[in-house]
Structure 1
Amino acid sequence: MKDLGRLKYFIGIEILRSEQGIFMDQKKYVLDLLAGTGMVDCKPADTLMIVNQKLYMEEKADLADKGIYQQMVGKLIYLSHTRPDIAYAIGVVSQFMHQPQKAHMEAVLRIIRYIKGTAGHGVLFKPNGHLETQLYTDADWAGDKGNRRSIAGYFTLVGGNLVTWRSKKQKVVALSSVQAEFRGIARGITEVL
C-alpha cells in the first residue's frame, strides 16, 4: 500500500478542505455530463422543474428514446450524491425509466439545464461544536397524479451538517394529509434511529 496523501478526487467527487470545513462537489462530473449530452452551450434554467408540474404516464403519448433516457437519469442519480437540491426531481423522473415519454425527457433536459447553472454546488461539512441530530420531514397528500399516492421526504442533520436526504413515494394511498405526514415522519424517525 502507498499513502497518497489527503483525498482530493475520488470516483467523480472532488473534496476540498479549508478552515471552514470539507466541501464535496462533482463539478468535473457535471461538465462531462454536459459534454456527453451535447448541452455545453445550453441556456441554464433557474429552477429544476416547472412549478406545480405533475409528471405521469399519458395515454397514447409520444415515446422518448428509452436507452438515452435511462443513461441520462442514471448519471443524474449519481450526481445526487453531492446535490441534495436535485434529489427530489431525480426521483420523479426516475419513475418513468421503463417507458419514458417526451414530457419526461423534457423534464430531464430541464434538470440538466439547471445543473449547468449550478455546477459548483455541493455539500459542506463544517465543525459546529456539537453532534445534535435533527430531522425534518414533509409529505404531499396524493401528489402522484397517476395513482394518487403521497410522496414523503426527509433530511437529517448531524452536528448541523446534512448527512442523509430522501424522498419516496409511499406504498399505500393515504386517506388524509395527516396520514401521509405521519407515514413520512415514521420513515424519517426510522432513519434517525
Structure 2
Amino acid sequence: MTTIRTMLALASIKGWHLHQLDVNTAFLHGDDLIEIQNIKQLLDNKFSIKDLGVLKYFLGMEVARSKEGINLCQRKYALDLLEESGMLGAKPNTSPMDSSTNLYSTSGSPCADITSYRRMLGRLVYLTHTRPDIAFSVGHLSQFLVAPTTEHFKAAMRILRYVKGAPGKGLFFSSNSSISLKGVNDSNWASCLDTRRSVTRFCFFLVDSLISWKSKRQKTVSRSSVEAEYRALAITSCEA
C-alpha cells in the first residue's frame, strides 16, 4: 500500500496519466498517452485484458482527480462496514478512542461474539490504508484478537461511530509540490499494560503527501526511554 500511495503522490506531482486494467490491477504511469495505448494493446494481445479506462476505483478505494491533486478515500467501503455493523444510524463520535481509557487484556468481561469482533477489526485494518487517523486505535485493539472483552468491543464500536462522522475522509496528494522525502517518529516507553513493551510510531511524507505510517509495539522490552527511542529510530530508518 505504501508503494501505491507513493505512485499516486508522484502521479499527482508529475501529471502522469493513470489507467486501470483488470489484469492484477495494473497501473501504467508516464506523460505519453500514445505510449500508454501501445502498452495496453501489447498486454491485450498477451492476456486478453479489459480496459477500464482512467483510474477511478480499485481495491475498495476511490480515486478522484482535479487540477489541485488526487484524493484517495474508501467512502463506499466505510459505508458498507457501517451498514454491516448496524451503525449507519449511530450518533457520530469526534475521536476514535477515549484518551482517558487504558485498555488491557482483562478489561471488562469476555466477549460473547469473538468472530464478529475479529471480522470488524479485520475490516477496520483495511480501512486504515487511507485513514491514518484511526491507525493507532485499530492497532491497539488488534492486540486483543485472541480473547476480546466487552470493553474492547465497546472501543471498536466507538471507532465505527468516529468513521460515521466522515466516511469519505481520506488522503490528498497535492500536485503543487517538489519531490522530497521526510519522516518523523516517536515512541511511548513501556506503554503496553500487559507486556510493558514500548510502542513505535512513525510517518513519512512525500513533501506534503502522507504515504507511509505505522504504530506498533516493539518486539522486546526497553529498559529506558532512551532505548525505546533508539529502537524506534532504527525501525523508522529501515522504512526510509
Runs of 4+ in 1 over 4 A off after TM superposition: none
Structure with the greater alpha carbon radius of gyration: 2
User: Residues 1-193 of structure 1 correspond to what in structure 2 (within 5 A)?
Assistant: 1-58=49-106, 61-192=109-240
Structure 2: how far apart are the matches of 1:17 and 1:59? 44
Question: Displacement, 1:147?
Answer: 1.2
Structure 2: how far apart are the matches of 1:139 and 1:115? 26
Q: Is the 8 A contact 1:73 1:108 kept in 2?
A: yes
Structure 1: how far apart are the matches of 2:195 and 2:171? 34
Bigger mean CA deviation after superposition, 149-158 or 45-54: 45-54
Q: Cα deviation per residue 1:66-124 (whole Å; 9 max; x = unaligned)?
A: 10001100110110111111111110011111111101000100000000002121011
**Aligned residues with identical type, % of pairs:** 42
Structure 1: how far apart are the matches of 2:62 and 2:107? 43
Q: Is the 8 A contact 1:126 1:161 kept in 2?
A: yes
The runs of 5 or more residues in structure 2 that have no matched partner are 1-48
Q: Is the 8 A contact 1:128 1:160 kept in 2?
A: no
Structure 2: how far apart are the matches of 1:160 and 1:46? 25
Q: Is the 8 A contact 2:200 2:217 kept in 1?
A: yes
Structure 1 residues 41 and 141, CA gap change in structure 2 (3 angstroms): same
Structure 2: how far apart are the matches of 1:70 and 1:21? 36
TM-score (norm 1): 0.95
SS at structure 2 position matched to 1:109: helix
Structure 2: how far apart are the matches of 1:109 and 1:91? 14
Structure 1 residues 60 and 139, CA gap change in structure 2 (3 angstroms): closer
User: For the aligned residues, what is the CA RMSD?
Assistant: 1.4
TM-score (norm 2): 0.77
